Structure 1
């Protein structure tokens, strides 16, 4: 018999947590890790259209790290001791790595002091869209924490830095294309 993708266990409106337990699919933390999943897919769109091999590798690395973010968020709060740093739990080193990537990009390509209108190249536009999804994921993570869900400080910091990194990577993806400012 072929394997099935459906289990029917979620038909009651609940979803399973990593390391056991179930919560409502409408739970604030489920919204948060759902946005992280959406971000992973949005980065896939950026990577699929990217003709810069080094940038595509960076995007793939970020997608893989987002699985760590998702696992961290989706873990039963009482079983977090089972998580492994960098594999299923976000740690400070992951945040530091993003900061180093941001700093390296800004050395090569300093930011213009204006708001930019996305859409100069397909990859730039996809990265800017991913940045907005990252910001939404960050807002949902903060909201989940404010509603009493456990959210690690490293997850919050990671998503905040990631959106900054995606902004500077979008500028890289624009290359020499004209990026119009928000005002004439």
Structure 2
């Protein structure tokens, strides 16, 4: 018999946690996990847009970020009593991951300083897609904070990583806008 995608376990309004256990689909933690999943998908669109625009190095960086967001998702979704089984950088977010994002931000800003104006998203398809990914990550961060405030386990490294990756996506979207970027006002 062929494998099925459906299990019927979630029909009761719960979803499985990484390494066992179940949690309500209405939990703020599940909302944060869903946002991270959505960010990975939106970054997939951005990666395809980067490739189509010939921005190969940016597409490779976006793939790296997608993979790191899977680490964030695993960290968030893990049953709190089984966190000892997680592997740094594979299923648990580390401070080194955030430090690497900070280095990328600093390097990019040194090479291409931000304009002192707000830009209207959409100068290029790739920049618009990166801006969309940034907003989804910001929502993931808000939901992760809400989950922590509601008593769920959300590690400080996850919160720092989400904050920093959204900063990086802001910078990358500005880079992808190129010189034709449109300021909010003239």
Q: Note whether the superposition's TM-score is higher than 0.5.
A: yes
Q: Deviations over 1:3-56 (max 9, x none)?
A: 111111111110010111101110110000100000000000000111211100
After the TM superposition, which residues 5-154 of structure 1 pair with which residues of structure 2 at under 5 Å, given as runs? 5-50=5-50, 51-154=54-157
Q: Does 1:180 align with 2:143?
A: no
Task: Indicate which of 155, 165, 169 corresponds to 1:166.
Answer: 169
Structure 1 unaligned blocks of 5 or more: none
Structure 2 unaligned blocks of 5 or more: none
C-alpha deviation, 1:179, in angstroms: 1.3
Distance 2:134 2:119 in 1: 13
C-alpha deviation, 1:175, in angstroms: 2.2
RMSD (Å) for aligned C-alpha atoms: 0.7
1:62 counterpart SS class:
helix
C-alpha deviation, 1:180, in angstroms: 1.3
C-alpha deviation, 1:171, in angstroms: 1.4
Distance 2:177 2:118 in 1: 14
1:15 counterpart SS class:
strand
C-alpha deviation, 1:174, in angstroms: 1.4
Q: Deviations over 1:158-182 (max 9, x none)?
A: 0000000001111121123x21111
Q: Which runs of 4+ in 1 moved over 3 A?
A: none
C-alpha deviation, 1:66, in angstroms: 0.4
State how many pairs are aligned: 183
Q: Deviations over 1:102-159 (max 9, x none)?
A: 0111011100111111000000000001011111111111111111111000000000
